[in-house]
Amino acid sequence: MAVPKRKKSKAMRDHRRAQWMRSVPVPNVTPCPKCQEPKLPHRVCEACGFYRDRAVIVKTEDTEA
């Protein structure tokens, strides 16, 4: 089994442990073309209920109240 030749310094160890945040993906939020609200790609817009110029969620008076 391959064994490291030298002990990693505390600085290198801490540097490695500080990099895990970079592996967490950031959601690709883009403005909705209809209402400009931030939305995720390939998802129905939460604000206006539209997906690709089509009303998927039709908001009525009963659901908003």
Contact footprint for Zn ion (CB under 5 A): 32, 34-35, 37, 45, 47-48
Instruction: Provide the H-helix boundaries in 1-65.
Output: 10-18, 61-64
CA–CA dist 37, 39 (Å, integer): 6
CB of 30 to Zn ion, least distance (A): 11
Which CB sits closer to Zn ion, 35 or 57? 35
Whose structure tokens read 């998802």? 43
Which CB sits closer to Zn ion, 12 or 29? 29
Q: Which two tokens stand for residue 43?
A: 């998802």
Which CB sits closer to Zn ion, 6 or 54? 54
